[in-house]
Amino acid sequence: MRRSLAVADRTRGTRLLPEGDHVSVVVTVKFPGDTEAFRRFSADRADFLRKISDDARSKGALHHRFAIGDGFVLAVDEWQSVEAFQGFFANNPDIETAMRDGGAQGEPEVTFAEAIETADQF
């Protein structure tokens, strides 16, 4: 019996995706914040961020990257499943510490999307 993966996206609501051998999800976490504080935090607390990253990989994270924009910080991840991300994000107290010390100034906006293979990816 094929299992399904519930994925929420802004355009189509929650839907079920078939879970195959390589179904993964792209997760974005965007939070308003002081981007200079985040730059300082990421430089000064590199070991702390590596600890979080190691824990994420052990729980199903495949890729991770931060970006900063005008008044916000964005994490772009790829995870084995929505549930793996949610378990990690909800149960790791270091996430709250990183957000606080990294300049977050509000609640994060989290989105999930199905990762797909396309001819133009690199």
Segments forming the whole domain that contains residue 98: 4-114
Query: Do the domain assignments include residue 121?
Result: no
Query: Do the domain assignments include residue 20?
Result: yes
Assess whether pLDDT exceeds 70 at residue 86: yes
Query: Do the domain assignments include residue 119?
Result: no
Query: Do the domain assignments include residue 59?
Result: yes
Q: What is the pLDDT of residues 23-73, one digit of tens each?
A: 899 999 999 999 999 999 999 999 999 999 999 999 999 999 999 999 999
What pLDDT is attached to residue 22? 62
> Listing from the earlier edge strand, what are the strands of the sheet with 72-79?
61-69, 72-79, 25-32, 109-114
Alpha-carbon distance of 25 to 80, in angstroms, equals 6
Query: Do the domain assignments include residue 120?
Result: no
Q: Considering its fold, how many domains does the chain have in total? A: 1
Domain harbouring 109, CATH code = 3.30.70.100
Query: Do the domain assignments include residue 122?
Result: no
